[in-house]
Amino acid sequence: MAGRLLVSTRKGLFCLGPSGRGRWQVERVCFLGDNVTLTLPDPRDGLWYAALDHGHFGAKLHRSPDRGATWEEVGVPAYPEPPAGYEEKDPMGRVIPWQLQRFWALEPGLADQEGLLWAGTIPGGLFRSPDRGATWDLVRSLWEHPDRRRWLAGGADYPGIHSICVDPRDGRRVTLAVSSGGVWRSEDGGGTWACHGQGMRAAYVPPGRETDMRIQDVHRLVQCPTHPETLWAQHHNGIYHSADGGAVWRLLVPSDAFEPRDSLTGFGFPVAVHPQDPDTAWFVPGDKDERRVPLDAKVVVLRTRDGGRSFETLRRGLPQEQAYDLVLRHALDADADGRGLAFGSTTGSLWVSEDGGDAWTTVAEHLPPVYAVRWA
C-alpha cells in the first residue's frame, strides 16, 4: 500500500501517514486556514502540487519539492480577453466570465512527457503546462469548440472540467469529463476534440434532450490505467461503464431505481477504479439528488468486481447510524495496488481500507470539509 494520504480540505491540506498497527496520524498540515481544493503528487518526479482557492484573492497553485515541507507559488492559468463587446452566456442565459474561478482537475502527462501538466478549471477551460506549472496555455481547440458553449453549470456556478484521463499507452489520447458537458476525447494531444457519451441519459432536462451528449452531468470519470479502454463514470443519474474508451456507455445502477430501495443507490459523486483490474470499481453513494446524505444515515461503499454485473455493499468499520457524510467527486482514491482505499467527507471524516474495501478504519472525524483525497 502506498504510504501517505493528501487530504485537501476547506481549511488546509492534511498529510497523513501510517503510525503502525493500522493507525494513521497527521504528519503535516499545510496552508492551515486556506481553502485547498486539490492536490497532485506527481509520480514522475515526486513533486507535489496544491491548488488553492482564496476567494477574495483568486485561485493559486503551489508546488513542493520536499513532500510538503516547503512550498513555492507557481503560475496559474489565465483566460483570454473575450472579443470586444462579447459577453458569453450559457444556454440558461447566465453570463460566463472568462476568468479563472477554480482548479477542478490536475493531472500529470506520461513519464516521457517531462514536466507536462493538465488542468481542468471552472468555468470550463482546459489548460496545459509544459514546465511543471510555471506557465499555462489554454487549449483553444476545446474552448473555441462551438459545443463548449452548450455546457451547463453543475456542481458550481459555471461549467467545469473535473476529470482528466491521460491514456498510459499514448499521452496524446486524453479523455475529459465536464459538469455538465459530457465526455470529451482528443486523439492528438488536444488539437481536436469530439464529444462522446452514447448511452448516457439526463433526467434533469426537458423531454427530447435526455440523450444530448453535450449536457450530460458526469460527476466523475476514471480510466483503468492498465486497461485504458475501460472507463467508469458516476453520473448525476447513475453509475455507468464503458468498455470502448468512452464512446458507448452502459447504465448499471440508475440513481432513482429500486422501490423499496435497498442500499444500492446510483446517486453519488466519486468513483475509483482498480489500477490492475478493470472490472473492479468503488463508489460512495448518497441517497438521491434531492437528499444528498447517505441512505438511512448509513455510510457505505459500493464495490463491483465483475464489471458491474453485481455490486456489494461494504459496511464493516463504517458508521451505520446517524451518519450524514457526503463524499465529493475527488474525495475517494485507490492506491497503486488497489488494496489501499481512502475517502473523506464534507463533515470532516476520513476512512481508510487496506484490503480493497472489505474493512474500514476511521482515521479522522473532525477535519474541515474534505474536497479531495489522494494517495502519495
- By beta-carbon proximity to other proteins, the closer residue of 61 and 231 is 61
Contacts of 83 (CB under 8 A, 6+ apart): none
Q: Is 154 exposed, middle or buried (0-12, 13-18, 19+ CB in 10 A)?
A: buried
What minimum distance in Å lies between the beta carbon of 34 and other proteins? 8
What minimum distance in Å lies between the beta carbon of 77 and other proteins? 8
- By beta-carbon proximity to other proteins, the closer residue of 104 and 232 is 104
What minimum distance in Å lies between the beta carbon of 153 and other proteins? 17
- By beta-carbon proximity to other proteins, the closer residue of 99 and 313 is 99
> Measured between alpha carbons, how far is 177 from 254 in angstroms, rounded to an integer?
19
Is 116 in contact with 109 (CB distance < 8 Å)?
A: yes
Closest CA to 165 of 220, 236, 101: 220
- By beta-carbon proximity to other proteins, the closer residue of 73 and 365 is 73
What minimum distance in Å lies between the beta carbon of 319 and other proteins? 33
Single-letter residue type at 114: E
Strands of 2-78, DSSP E: 5-9, 12-20, 23-30, 36-41, 48-53, 59-64, 72-73
CA torsion, ordered 262, 328, 225, 160, to nearest 10 deg: 120
- By beta-carbon proximity to other proteins, the closer residue of 100 and 364 is 100
Residues that bind other proteins (CB under 8 A): 54-58, 60, 73, 76, 78-79, 81, 98-100
> Measured between alpha carbons, how far is 151 from 213 in angstroms, rounded to an integer?
10
What minimum distance in Å lies between the beta carbon of 190 and other proteins? 20
- By beta-carbon proximity to other proteins, the closer residue of 43 and 58 is 58
What minimum distance in Å lies between the beta carbon of 57 and other proteins? 4
